[in-house]
Amino acid sequence: MIYQLNFNLPRILTLPSFNFTRIVCFSSSTKDSNLAKLRKKTGLAFVLCKKALELHNNDLNAAELYLKEESIKHGYAKIQKLQSRRAVQGLVGLFMHHESKQCALLEVNCETDFVARNQNFKQLVAQLTSSLLSPTTNKPSPSILPNTNLATKNVFGPDDLKFFNEQLSQAVIQLGENIKVSRGLILQLTEPQREDLHLFSYVHASGESIADINSVKLGKYGAVIVARQLPNEERKELPKVETAESQPVTKKQSNDSGVEDQKERKLTDEEIDNQEYDIEFGEEEPVNYTFDDVGKIVCQQIVGLNPTYLKKPEEVLAKEKELMKQGYKIPEDSEYLLDQKTIVNPSLSVAEFCDQHGIHILDFVRYECGENIEN
């Protein structure tokens, strides 16, 4: 039996067409690629990024803008919820701009040391610290430093730092802790063109290596000094220091028969205390530190010994002078930087050490993370 099949070719050729462009836009590989990019840009969770892309037809820019707005909105709500929680951990950021001779200090606090070591938190502190020196930053009125008119400071309190709220709200969502900016400071020389005026800084990380992100140093402590390099005629000659030569000592000891005992034996503690030595003293050349070395040493001194003031007022010095004439001994006072014993040479005060190396300290600033936060 033979069957005849009739095909309607025009009808086959006019089948409805498909929009292949739309299918390609929503391919699995493109979705995954945009999802990975969005997560890398925002640092937010997989679920949030996926939802943002679905709501905006896989448009990467629109999804990023949406997440940013949501972060701010929910961040403010979360900040209100977390702001009563105590935040005394964190980092001090220090950014030195050598060309303009400016320095920015910023303290950013969080609740735990775990978050303080988080790379995202470090990136946040570095970004906020460097932005303090931005020309667009709304800065408080500058004031002259207490001990010199050769530098000014802009002091930022919590209310002056509210322009960081947007970045803080995103960080709160990302890290899940109360995060706040406690204080900030900008130091600037009034005559930056002078070659004899300098700013020196030091950051101490307290147990871990100092992070350096985009030239911003991060740690638990920070110190900055304003210094002037003394001309040669104002410098004092370093004294010669007598020290024991590093050589074996000769023991003056013999046995009862008057003949030296040639056999080596281990001495008792009592014999060590009672024995006599011939010690030859020699002259040791004093260490000549560079100008930069002295600046760093003084900053380390400030971080370690925590002075409150630069130097004693004239009236205090006059009173102490009178007491010394009457036979009173004036006790050492560690709250004055220039009167402290230098950490590298306890025989010299900081003032003497600096004078001998051609540096005059004009003023200083010290930050310690959490020091001004009430318990």
Q: Which of 18, 49, 82 is the last residue in one of the domains?
A: 82
User: How far is it, in rounded angstroms, from Cα 272 to Cα 100?
Assistant: 61
User: How far is it, in rounded angstroms, from Cα 328 to Cα 348?
Assistant: 22
Q: Which of 330, 331, 338, 295 is nearest to 313 (CA)?
A: 338
CA 62 → CA 28, 38, 49, 53, 159, distances in Å?
Answer: 19, 11, 11, 8, 32
Do 38 and 139 fall within a single domain?
no
Predicted pLDDT at 146: 84
CB atoms within 10 A of CB 306: 16
Do 227 and 258 fall within a single domain?
no
Average per-residue pLDDT for the chain: 79
User: How far is it, in rounded angstroms, from Cα 184 to Cα 315?
Assistant: 32
Non-local CB neighbours of 322 within 8 Å, separated by 6+ positions: none
User: How far is it, in rounded angstroms, from Cα 306 to Cα 337?
Assistant: 8
Predicted pLDDT at 16: 46
Do 264 and 298 fall within a single domain?
no
Q: How far is CA 158 from the centre of its chain?
A: 19
Evaluate whether residue 374 is within a structural domain: no
Predicted pLDDT at 209: 63
Q: Which of 191, 213, 231 is the last residue in one of the domains?
A: 231
Q: Which domain holds residue 121?
A: 89-231
Do 169 and 199 fall within a single domain?
yes
Do 144 and 210 fall within a single domain?
yes
How many structural domains are present in the chain? 4
Predicted pLDDT at 310: 93
Tokens describing residue 264:
């080596």
Indicate the pTM of the whole model.
0.68
Predicted pLDDT at 144: 87
CATH number for 64: 1.10.8.10
pLDDT in tens, 166-178: 888 888 888 889 9
Do 138 and 105 fall within a single domain?
yes
Most confidently modeled range among 20-34, 66-80, 245-259: 66-80
Do 113 and 157 fall within a single domain?
yes
- Largest separation between any pair of C-alpha atoms in the chain: 144
Say which range, 95-99, 115-119, 248-252, has the weakest mean pLDDT. 248-252
CATH number for 181: 3.30.479.20
Buried b (16+ CB within 10 A) or exposed e, 255-268: eeeeeeeeeeeeee
Predicted pLDDT at 239: 56
Q: What is the mean pLDDT of residues 6-33?
A: 48
Q: Which of 356, 336, 332 is nearest to 344 (CA)?
A: 356
Do 306 and 207 fall within a single domain?
no
User: How far is it, in rounded angstroms, from Cα 161 to Cα 367?
Assistant: 17
| pLDDT bucket at 137, cuts 50 / 70 / 90 | confident
Do 95 and 220 fall within a single domain?
yes
User: How far is it, in rounded angstroms, from Cα 65 to Cα 293?
Assistant: 48
CA 103 → CA 142, 201, 216, distances in Å?
Answer: 14, 8, 10
Q: What is the mean pLDDT of residues 207-214?
A: 74
Tokens describing residue 114:
């775990």
Q: Which of 82, 97, 125 is the last residue in one of the domains?
A: 82
Predicted pLDDT at 233: 75
pLDDT in tens, 267-317: 555 554 555 544 444 555 667 789 999 999 999 999 999 999 999 888 877
User: How far is it, in rounded angstroms, from Cα 294 to Cα 302?
Assistant: 12
